[in-house]
Amino acid sequence: MRVLKLSYLVGRLVVLADIIAGKGVACNQCRSEIRLTLVVVGPYDQMVIGDDGWRLPGLDDSIRDGFDGIDMGMTICECDAVELTGCDLLVETRGYLASDDRDGLRAYLHWDWSVDALAGLVDSGDRDVAKMAAYCLGVWGDTPSVFPLVRALQHDDSQVAEAAEDALWGIWIDAVARESRANLIEAMSMMSEGDHPRAAIVLSEIIDHDPACAEAYNQRSMARFLSDDFVGSLEDARCAVGLNGCHFGAMAGMGHAYARLGDVDRAVGSYRAALRIHPRMAGLQQTVHALTCGRGRDFRHGFNKPN
């Protein structure tokens, strides 16, 4: 894939935003469509772009048009593009990671990369590049990133598969509506502290507000399981899978609930569905082996609860 490399810009890049290109504008050299851009280089932390143009908090409108570092005439096309490599990804992301600047990293990725380009690097033979690409897909977020990450769960390298799993969990949690996300994280903290009934109440409030929130159902499934409400746990896990068909965690949750209810065949079927998506999911292979070999056919007592 050919993308624009911005490392030649001098100064601190604050915002790089597309301006809608005029119809019929084309490069004289390669004939591809030209994108007109607004490039802002300067020591500012924030910039707001709206229909009426741009503004910087604290910058007087009277000097805005003459602000040093504004280039309204830059053109970008295939002639300006270079091929980015896995080495470029490792180098360019280093600063964002060191400063824990997730928003800045997301902006960089959205400008210089695509989901397809990052997905291609996940399949590279370089472990560090593949892990970083998986991490960046998680930072990119949203549905387009999910499918290459699900594929990466099958990666030959267990560390790459682990990075893909972490990225997916991050995407699924970030997909929760902003006004509910803090409550979801609070409920997860309650579960880690053993307050499962209270966590279930908080998660129910999230579901009442957003009935399509798959991760709230999944988390409530765990809270109910840990409260020994296996029927309720199963119902919630089914809802989570119905809303997110690649949610291996909820599929495993269905298996846990079925096993505690004594339905071994459905438990094995649910575990195998999870393993088809995530072959290295912790403990499931051993559990399936134990069930199918006839050891502990009744798992209603003493079954290990999910972490």
The whole-number pLDDT of residue 33 equals: 44
CA angle 132, 133, 134 (to 5 degrees): 90
So what's the pLDDT on residue 67?
A: 36
How far apart, in whole angstroms, are the C-alpha atoms of residue 80 and residue 295? 64
CATH of domain 183-292: 1.25.40.10
Measured distance CA(117)–CA(282) in Å, rounded:
29
CATH 1.25.40.10 placement within the chain: 183-292
CATH 1.25.10.10 domain residues, the chain: 84-175
Share of the chain above pLDDT 70, in %: 68
pLDDT confidence bin for 113, thresholds 50/70/90: confident
Overall pTM surpassing 0.95 (yes/no): no
Q: Are 188 and 156 in contact (CB under 8 A)?
A: no
CATH number of 84-175: 1.25.10.10
pLDDT, residue 93, reads 93
| Tokens standing for residue 189 | 């903290």
